[in-house]
A and B are shown apart, each in its own frame.
Chain A
Amino acid sequence: MACTDRAIYSFESLLIIFLRCFPAMLAINILGLEKIYNVGFWRKRAKRALWPLNLRVEEGEIFGFLGPNGAGKTTTLKLLMGLVFPSGGSARILGMELDDPRMKAQIGFLPEQPYFYDHLTARELLRYYGQLSGVDAKQLSSKVDAVLEQVKLIDSANVQLRKFSKGMLQRAGIAQAILHDPKVVFLDEPMSGLDPMGRREVRNLIEDLKTHGKTVFFSTHILSDAEALCDRVAIIHQGELRGIGAVAELTASVHGKVEIVWQTAVVPAGIRSMGAECHSAGDSTRVILPEENQDAALEALRREHLRLISVVPVRTSLEDYFVAQLGTSAKSEAVSSRTLHPATGDGQVIKR
């Protein structure tokens, strides 16, 4: 029987190797998607909204799409939703074309600052959207109630939407986006206009979605949210992709620093000569130094027999990375050679 076992084992290995050659289906696959608007009275002037964009999002990821206002985030989302037609390039969601109704049945979309049919109640709104999405009539009521519970709007289910606060509208918007159990959820600025409580709730909802195996693609200009939630982010500015990769990768590599804390308020000469600012508070002193000076600083402390409390790498926040990226001009070389995580396969920045 060992023979058969070995055969099965070999077959399984071959299968695994085979599957590894073909990566899992991409949730979103954007190939050279671009948009130019023709503006002006005679529609002659060209206004570039999006440079050719290449982007891939795996299934089950939470993907953040970052950028300042007017960067092209909403344009990209509208292109993906089929609300606006591309000037070039193409994209596929779940392997299907952008105008495929089968694909649309499996995605959900929350637009920026949504504002719904005033005179419908939350329940009626969700029923309507459910019907349009082809949710089975028998299951509709239960699904609507379930999703209302999920977004904590069940108590206001029969209140007309024109009486909803901004936060409630946002939650109703998320409800309609997830009602029909889509595989990919697109959210445009889901936290905008929410108070911290609301933001926390939305964050929990997004994490919840990931737990259920959904892919979430959301755009925002609030970096802390992206930092906390996303597996990977892409940064876009003036219609051009400026960086893409896991948050940790993006922040780790640029001006890494360390924070060193030791006992007593004495600052060793070696550290003082580095010119960094030391903060003393109570019985300890803190200093933030560039990573490369870490060994020299620790040596200085050891020589003075000062007791080390902690050495912690300080990661640049995404904000620093963001500002650094967008502060540079469009022709910056600093970013051009960034390649990252091999598994995702890409991460190249598109230069003009």
Chain B
Amino acid sequence: MIRSRQVTAIASTVLVCSMAMAALLLRKVDEAPPAASLQQMLYISSPKLLKRLCLGYEGLLADIYWTRTVQYFGSKHRQGGGTYKLLWPLLNITTQLDPHLIPAYEFGGTFLIAKQPQGAGDPGKAIELVQYGTQMNPNDWHLFYDLAFIYYDQKDYRHAADAFLRGSQLPNAHPFLKIMAAQMAQHGGDLKTARMMWSATYQTTHDKMIQANAAAHLRAIQVDEDVAAIEQLVQTYRHRTGHFPQTFSEMVSSNFIHGIPLDPLGHPYRLEAGGRVIVSDPDDLPFLNQGLPSGYVSKAVPKLSTAN
């Protein structure tokens, strides 16, 4: 015969143990998500239908979808990247539900244009997204900046300049918009322009991932410049001595240069045959145009480290 006190003891024990077990099981359920199909992730893939169904609570739903977008991108990125198939639909739904969710446009602008496996590699959708954003938020200069950026990335310098100009005319526009408009029109393809663009992004964004992305690009630009300058020195050395240097130490000992040149991460550059300058760790420096070892194929998605 169970007395009341025993019942209390048993019930309390069951309560505590069960809740603990439940929490553990939830972690397991989270860890093993099935291959998220489009429908499962979004449940309802039509933004219009979703808008009608959510009974006026679009703001909240937009926030939820935005959170899912960030989570989706972050976890996929950690797992090694991919096609990011769902990035556009998620962003589309988010911005349809709440057109004033500015961070979504910036995020989309950056990671929709990034080539796979870094991003979705779909510039057309990126332009569509941000243009919709500028329509819905005609007085926000940030969106014109984002739009310009996309055009710049696609080497469409005329449209980029155009976007910068329109943005610069808005209230409270950052002064560099005007500067960039001019720069873009004349020197669209220059490295200097690229550096200005990425520095601007790095300074104005609040999103950590976008910041890391910009920093990586700046490092790449630095490397490109460094490599060009060092190769120039190597050519000069060759003219003077008649042969290519084997190592940098050779150049240092003959007082041609003061020390072994280091890349932005602090690792020394190396010399390849034929006077080519390469970086020691190409995996750590994404977005390089110069300085890659011959025959190098980038394998995994390099980490976007926040270290500068």
Taking Cβ atoms with an 8 Å cutoff, the residues of A that contact B are 99-102
Contacts and interface: CB of A to CB of B under 8 A. Distances in A.
A81 to B, nearest CB: 14
B1 interface: yes
Interface in B1-16: 1, 3-4
Nearest to B1: A101
In the A-B complex, the 4 residue pairs with the smallest Cβ-Cβ separation, listed nearest first, are: A99-B4, A101-B1, A99-B3, A100-B1
Nearest to B3: A99
Nearest to A99: B4
Nearest to A100: B1
Nearest to B5: A99
Contacts of A102: 1
5 contacts: A99-B3, A99-B4, A100-B1, A101-B1, A102-B1
B232 to A, nearest CB: 83
Nearest to A85: B4
Contacts of B3: 99
Interface of B: 1, 3-4
A208 to B, nearest CB: 33
B155 to A, nearest CB: 71
Q: Main secondary structure on chain B at its contact with chain A?
A: loop
B10 to A, nearest CB: 15
A132 to B, nearest CB: 17
A115 B1 CA distance: 31
A106 to B, nearest CB: 15
Contacts of A99: 3-4
A102 B3 CA distance: 12
Nearest to A102: B1
Contacts of B4: 99
Nearest to B2: A101
A101 B3 CA distance: 10
Contacts of A101: 1
A80 to B, nearest CB: 16
A47 B47 CA distance: 59
A244 to B, nearest CB: 31
A349 to B, nearest CB: 33
A99 B3 CA distance: 8
A83 to B, nearest CB: 13
A100 B3 CA distance: 8
A213 B3 CA distance: 30
Nearest to A82: B4
A286 B277 CA distance: 140
A105 B4 CA distance: 17
A99 B1 CA distance: 10
Nearest to B4: A99
A100 B1 CA distance: 8
A99 B4 CA distance: 8
B7 to A, nearest CB: 10
A99 B2 CA distance: 10
Most buried by B among A99, A100, A101: A99
A111 B120 CA distance: 72
B6 to A, nearest CB: 11
A192 B293 CA distance: 101
A100 to B, nearest CB: 7
A101 B1 CA distance: 8
B119 to A, nearest CB: 57
Nearest to B7: A99
A326 to B, nearest CB: 37
A337 B3 CA distance: 41
A101 B7 CA distance: 14
B4 to A, nearest CB: 6
A108 B160 CA distance: 90
B3 to A, nearest CB: 7
A102 B1 CA distance: 9
Nearest to A97: B3
B168 to A, nearest CB: 61
A94 to B, nearest CB: 16
Contacts of B1: 100-102
Contacts of A100: 1
A53 B126 CA distance: 82
A182 to B, nearest CB: 19
B1 to A, nearest CB: 6
A84 to B, nearest CB: 14
A60 to B, nearest CB: 28
